[in-house]
Amino acid sequence: MSEQRRNVVSRLLGGLLVFWHKLVGRRGPVGRRVRKDRPYVVTIIPAHNEETSIGATLESLFSQTRQPDLVVVAADNCSDRTVEVASSYQRRGVVVFETVDNKYRKVGALTQAWQRYAKDADFVLGIDADTILAPSSLQELEDEMVENVAIGGLMARYTFDQGLATGWFSRLLVRLQRLEFTGWTMDILRRQRRTYVLGGQATLFRGEALRQVTEHNKRNGPWSVNSQVEDMELTWRLGELGWETLCSATARAYVGPMLTFRAFWAQRRKWDGGITQTLLANGINKQTAYPWRLQAKTLLDASIRFMFFGLLILALLRGSWVWFWVWAIPPVLAMLLNLRTVLRTPHRSTADIVVAVTLVGSELYLMVRIATWVVSWVHAILGIRKDGWAAQYRAEGKA
């Protein structure tokens, strides 16, 4: 079957499936009649060249204790077998939707799929094509949102599967990403689970909240085409309208890690560049106050390290360097903080603990994060704008 004919058939089947849901009272992804006394949940999976991971993501959805009522794969400009792999799940009710004239990458794919399949849904689960949900995640997310009607978006707790790494450097990089995300989650928990960004890797949104954001901001969909951190921008828009944006206390998702330095750099440059541009566009207000504090913290981290290395080099050149044991206090405190974090990391191993307490890996990791942050701010000050999505696709081999 030609690509054009397959696209036409896929859209026809998708339209028929949505019509059938409305006609017979909504049927689930494997043909079961959905109870009318429970919310109608649509899952949207934006996918660009994800042939190696989309199958596992779909399998995790069909392994849920509470399965979504409709699963839509929004295939965006794919040049690999993503559409073919996803289409093999059509017999289980998956709709494979190929974007049309999409110029806005992930945001465009999400918007087109939302308009066509999820605009009237009670809940919309946004999930990346390389994310694996724990079996009870969707049920736990839905239960909390049903109980608390003030929640506009509820994000799963993220970690990474260490088994995806191959090679010593890749394994080290994934361990450090796991440690970073655990620290990020702990920070959110200290803030009563309030989050300034509902990560697009796995978040359940209230349909009413998404419709309000779309209408209030006069958009084609909830997500902004002008931001490279569309999930963060949407979180702020939800907060402005009075919706709570929280992280789940129990639901877990295993997201796709960056396995090479090039891919990691490109991802963080996109994130930091997008955050910088979005903060400058929104100024300082209730929604952006905490992200601005994090920017100040990164500036402090960078300043301390620049001054330390500068003074150390100067002292060595002058021959005036003398060791004092009091200088050991900051590294010891850092080791204890890293130990506390790694002990909260799910599925931790002895290697995770060693990497955390030896500090070398985590300090180098932080220096790289500072470097991407500095480059992003320099570009923002100079007015340089780059397509972060394109750079990340190239780095991951998905261009």
| Boundary (domain end) residue, out of 207, 236, 257 | 257
- Stated pTM of the model: 0.89
Q: Which of 104-113, 118-127, 137-146, 381-390 has the lowest mean pLDDT?
A: 381-390
What does the pLDDT read at residue 25?
A: 44
Name the H helices within the chain: 3-24, 54-62, 82-87, 105-113, 137-147, 168-190, 207-216, 230-240, 261-282, 289-318, 329-342, 350-358, 360-382, 388-395
Judge if 169 and 127 occupy the same domain.
yes
The CATH number given to whatever domain includes residue 42 is 3.90.550.10
Per the domain annotation, does 10 fall within a domain?
Answer: yes
Judge if 164 and 75 occupy the same domain.
yes
Judge if 163 and 214 occupy the same domain.
yes
Give the domain extent around 352.
290-395
Judge if 31 and 104 occupy the same domain.
yes
Judge if 294 and 219 occupy the same domain.
no
Q: Which of 44-48, 107-111, 149-153, 327-331 has the lowest mean pLDDT?
A: 327-331
Does residue 47 have a pLDDT over 70?
yes
Q: What is the pLDDT of residues 263-304, one digit of tens each?
A: 999 999 999 999 999 999 999 999 999 999 999 999 999 999
| Boundary (domain end) residue, out of 257, 274, 301 | 257
Judge if 197 and 299 occupy the same domain.
no
Per the domain annotation, does 278 fall within a domain?
Answer: no
Per the domain annotation, does 162 fall within a domain?
Answer: yes
Overall domain count for the chain? 2
Judge if 221 and 167 occupy the same domain.
yes
Q: What is the pLDDT of residues 77-119, one digit of tens each?
A: 999 999 999 999 999 999 999 999 999 999 999 999 999 999 9
- Mean pLDDT score, 367-383: 95
How far apart are the C-alpha atoms of 116 and 337, rounded to whole Å?
Answer: 47
Judge if 141 and 77 occupy the same domain.
yes
How far apart are the C-alpha atoms of 52 and 55, rounded to whole Å?
Answer: 7
- Give the sheet arrangement for strand 41-47, strand by strand: 94-98, 70-75, 41-47, 123-127, 202-206, 151-160, 244-255, 132-133
